[in-house]
Structure 1
Amino acid sequence: MAKAGNRIIFSLECKVCKRRNYSTTKNKRTNPEKVKLKKYCAFCRRHTEHKETK
């Protein structure tokens, strides 16, 4: 059975409308900085930058 370790679950928030649309995981040890991704926002109806939040 796999152990939890350094992997955390976090949300991605749209920078335009400030809604949390996605949740994903990352390894805190290998990626300590905050994640920024271009994702589709269903509320804005376009691709926008999404930033990591708790």
Structure 2
Amino acid sequence: MGKSKGARITITLECECRNTNNVVKRSNGIFRYTSSKNRRNTPNRIELKKFCRQCNCHTIFKEIK
């Protein structure tokens, strides 16, 4: 029998510049990061400040479904 994964899940982080039209974009497409979190310790959505290649600066990345 295999073990269950437990409380740790994989999440996707997406830049908030996706919905903003006034940003000069360097490339086409949407830039995303993947990470993991403990579902029991952090039940809310995560917001991390990371580098976005489209914005060419550090912006807030929000967890998406």
Q: Distance in 2 between matches of 1:25 and 1:12?
A: 10
Quick check: which one's helix share is greater? 2
Quick check: which one's strand share is greater? 1
Worse-superposed segment, 37-46 or 15-24: 15-24
- What are structure 2's unaligned runs of at least 5 residues? 20-29
What is the count of residue pairs matched by the alignment?
54
Moved segments of 4+, more than 6 Å: none
Q: Distance in 1 between matches of 2:43 and 2:18?
A: 26
Name the larger-Rg structure: 2
Q: TM-score, normalised by structure 1?
A: 0.84
Q: TM-score, normalised by structure 2?
A: 0.71
Coordinate RMSD, CA, aligned: 1.8
Query: Identity rate of aligned residues, in percent?
Result: 40
- What are structure 1's unaligned runs of at least 5 residues? none
